[in-house]
Amino acid sequence: MQISSSFSCLIVLLVLIVGVRAQDPAKPVSDKTENLYKGSEVTAKAHVKKKPDPRYTKDARKHAVEGTVILRCVFSSTGEVKNIHVVSGLPDGLTESAVEAAKKIKFTPAMKDGHPVSMWMELQYNFHLY
Query: What was the pLDDT predicted at 33?
Result: 60
Per-residue pLDDT of the chain (130 residues; tens, 9 = 90+): 444 333 333 333 333 343 433 333 334 444 456 789 999 999 999 999 999 999 999 999 999 999 999 999 999 999 999 999 999 999 999 999 999 999 999 999 999 999 999 999 999 999 999 8
Enumerate domains of the chain plus CATH numbers: 28-127 (3.30.2420.10)
The sign of the torsion formed by the CA atoms of 15, 20, 23, 24 equals positive
Query: What was the pLDDT predicted at 11?
Result: 36
pTM of the model: 0.72
Count the neighbouring beta carbons within 10 Å of the beta carbon of residue 36.
21
Q: Where does residue 121 rank: exposed (0-12), middle (13-18), buried (19+ CB within 10 A)?
A: buried
Strands (E) located in the chain: 29-30, 35-37, 47-50, 67-75, 81-88, 106-108, 110-112, 115-127
Query: What was the pLDDT predicted at 58?
Result: 97
